[in-house]
Amino acid sequence: MRESCNFSSKNINQDKQGSADLNLTQAEFNEDKMSEECGVFGVFNADGESSAAELSYLGLIALQHRGQESAGICSNHNGDFNLHKGMGLVESVFEEKDMESLKGEMAIGHVRYSTSGSSKLSNAQPILINSIKGDLALAHNGNLANGAELRNNLEQNGSIFHSTLDTEVIAHLVARSFEDNIVEALVQSLHQLKGAFSLVAMTEDKLIAIRDPRGFRPLSLGKVDNTYVVASESCAFDVIGAEFIRDVAPGEVIVIDQDGIKSRRYTGENGTSLCVFEYIYFARPDSNIAGQNVLLARKEMGKQLAREMDVEADIVVPVPDSGIAAALGFAEESGIPYAQGILRNRYMGRTFIQPTQEIRDLKVRLKLSPIKEIIKDKKVILIDDSIVRGTTSKQIIGRIKEAGAREVHMAISSPPVEHPCYFGLDTSRRQELIASRNTEEEIGESIGADSLHYLSQAGMLKSIKTDVELGFCTACFDGDYPVDSRYLSEEE
Ligand code: SF4
């Protein structure tokens, strides 16, 4: 078993001279969005030209939007595990020599986003445990609502933690289980977990995929030739030429080994709570979740928003890229022309400059440029998928007005985000959410819009057409949390 780590210079917040790294990653730029915390990937029986780690590398690049602060791959060659992880984007964490060391026909991988306080190498995944039951590598997407309580109990009983990860809580529960078989120990530990967990795990000879009973986060199973793959999103299959087989069902444990696939339900709990924000913003537009393509769901939300709104305008302009699909739908339904009135700079360099407020404000200027010739003298409907803190919307509207727009009417293709998320996203503080303390009129005023419109919750849900009947988590909109309220405590 070998473990190596690196620390890419890319996302370090402070250099030796004390100046800041204004590295405008997607996550930093999207500070006015909820941020997903993880993406997971797993490979069993890679028998082609590419190793399991190489397939995982490609899969993680496809899942990079789900986490940009750290990445890791654990490979398995005939039961011999090798782990490499580091801070930064996938392409900066893995160099050729790292990939060469990750040999084997099985692998699991992970990309992570985190709030700044926990952005450190010890929190990178996968994590690897070596117990008398055998070796186990684990990668987790989600957030345990009772993670703190479980950790506390484990610490009281002598467990020592090396990270602040919920995943490590699961590892300790597995190690302490009275089950000798490591797969059974893992399944037994699941009964103690509350909240969101889509897991991929790897033993010496098995790849395991697990989804929590409510199915908060997506997880899918695919296949290419004789190789099985598991991924947070189906877009990661396309990149390696794998075919989507099916979603892992809520409450399902899938074990893949040389005898094939075995599936079981480990819980009798009923009722699902798939995160509706996966369709609104998190998932990549080319992914399908529960049979619904994400881009088409977003487009339908835009159409529904047009049906619910009554504003005349000259052009419909998306905030790139998050508002594009909804703006296309809005324009199609309303008959108001779609115009790419804001250009997004995709080639942001990295500059070491002092992180003054002025510089932070300039981020939006650097990233988005209104096209005056399209905007000037126009009555604009500006479409975005959500407003979380309101800071970026204000700056974008300001820039559109500077470019000469006559009026800017902001239209959001989801309802107001009024409540924090406790299931794997980075907004656990209600006070940060602009809609939790302001009326729609006040928000519109504070972001400088001539009017502000949100999609209704019923309209949002109507826009998502899954192939099986599913319940959704909508808690950040309506406060209706699908877990016991005693687990819902705001972060400090
Ligand atoms: S609270 Fe919102 S973001 Fe969190 S899981 Fe529920 S719907 Fe998704």
User: Do the annotations mark residue 74 as ligand-binding?
Assistant: no
- Let me know if 38 is a catalytic residue: yes
Q: How much is the pLDDT for 6?
A: 44
Task: Note down pLDDT in tens along the chain; length 492 residues.
Answer: 655 544 433 332 333 333 333 334 444 445 566 666 799 999 999 988 889 999 999 999 999 999 988 999 999 999 999 999 999 999 999 999 999 999 999 999 999 986 444 678 888 999 999 989 999 999 999 989 899 999 999 999 999 999 888 899 999 999 999 999 999 999 999 999 999 999 999 999 999 999 999 999 999 999 999 999 999 999 999 999 999 999 999 999 999 999 999 999 999 888 999 999 999 999 999 999 999 999 999 999 999 999 999 989 999 999 998 999 999 999 999 999 999 999 988 775 444 444 565 666 677 777 889 999 999 999 999 999 999 888 889 999 999 999 999 999 999 999 999 998 888 766 556 778 899 999 999 999 999 999 999 999 999 999 999 998 999 999 999 999 998 777 776 553
- Rg of the chain in Å (alpha carbons): 23
Of all protein residues, the one whose alpha carbon is nearest to atom 5 of ligand 1 is: 275
Residue 30: per-residue pLDDT: 53
This prediction's pTM: 0.90
* Best mutation site among 143, 280, 385, 425 for ligand 1 pocket (most ligand atoms within 8 Å of CB): 425
In this structure, which residue's CA is closest to atom 6 in ligand 1?
473
Tell whether residue 421 is among the known ligand binding residues.
Answer: yes
180 is in an annotated binding site: no
Give me ligand 1 centre to Cα 410, in Å: 23
Choice from 278, 470, 473 to test ligand 1 binding pocket (greatest atom count within 8 A of CB): 473
Residue of 5, 38, 74, 235 with catalytic role:
38
CA dist., res. 8 & res. 89, Å (int): 8
Domains plus CATH for the chain?
2-271 (3.60.20.10), 294-463 (3.40.50.2020)
Smallest CA separation from ligand 1 atom 2, residue = 476
Look at residue 89 in the predicted model and tell me its pLDDT: 94
Contact 11, 88 (CB under 8 A): yes
Nearest ligand 1 atom, CA 278: 8
For residue 215, report the distance from its CA to the centre of ligand 1, in Å: 12
- Which residues lie with the beta carbon below 6 Å from any ligand 1 atom? 34, 216, 275-277, 421, 423, 425, 473-476
Alpha-carbon span 236 to 61, nearest angstrom: 8
- Out of 275, 385, 417, 472, mutate this one to test ligand 1's pocket (max ligand atoms within 8 Å of CB): namely 275
